[in-house]
Copies of this chain bind each other. A is one copy, B any other.
């Protein structure tokens, strides 16, 4: 079924099986060969078969029941994996020249709306940036970013005139957790002006809040004008936890 040689055996068993499931050859509910049958088929030990099947069960692609056997899971739409690329990488991947421009920069105590965005109780020192990302010269995304300088003081010394803050932060400030929020909104007058669109043009809004432990590091809100941008999600087989 496959001609791969450079792959480990347990991975080959795994891909063989998941290919059969994803292609529909083995429909939901179909019984997968027993471990001892796979041992014989691939001429390997039971441990190797198990190392192939365990991750599939954890993914939720298959369901294993003692005595009964192993079955193709019944997929449900619950969650998908969404790729959220780095803007510069995304633009260059499209074959367009990437451009970056810092529109404004301000250091100060967080105002009440900024405190709300960073989820803070007490006003802390923040760096507030507004930047424009371009593709082939045309505005591609507007970025509004807050950086908590109590959590990431090094950021105060960086000139973000040429370096997009997202890339710098990823490289310099470790983070442990993030949350994304995706919505649609009409841009404010200022944002519309920067993007060269009307306030009636729908924008995709991507918000991201990033933590290191309990500290909020940064909050970013990206406006993508109109239908110029899509987020594409591939199918994720994860469902309920498998027994």
- A interface with B by C-beta (< 8 Å): 21-25, 27-28, 47, 51, 54-55, 58, 74-86, 170, 174-186, 200-205, 208, 212-214, 224, 226-227, 229-236, 238
Contacts and interface: CB of A to CB of B under 8 A. Distances in A.
Contacts of A85: 78
A204 B82 CA distance: 16
A18 to B, nearest CB: 11
A208 to B, nearest CB: 7
A232 B238 CA distance: 16
- Number of chain copies forming the complex: 2
Q: Which of A22, A84, A176, A235 has the most B CB atoms < 10 Å from its CB? A: A176
A121 to B, nearest CB: 20
A176 B186 CA distance: 36
Contacts of A75: 174-176
A79 B178 CA distance: 11
Nearest to A166: B77
A148 to B, nearest CB: 15
B182 A236 contact: no
B186 A201 contact: yes
A226 B178 CA distance: 24
A183 B204 contact: yes
B226 A185 contact: yes
A80 B178 contact: yes
Given A81-B81, A202-B203, A181 B230 contact: yes
19 contacts: A24-B174, A24-B213, A24-B214, A25-B213, A27-B176, A77-B178, A80-B84, A80-B178, A82-B82, A179-B233, A180-B232, A183-B227, A184-B184, A184-B185, A184-B202, A185-B202, A200-B200, A201-B202, A202-B202
A55 B56 CA distance: 11
A182 B204 contact: yes
By Cβ-Cβ distance, the 7 closest A-B pairs, closest first, are A24-B213, A202-B202, A200-B200, A184-B204, A180-B233, A184-B184, A184-B202
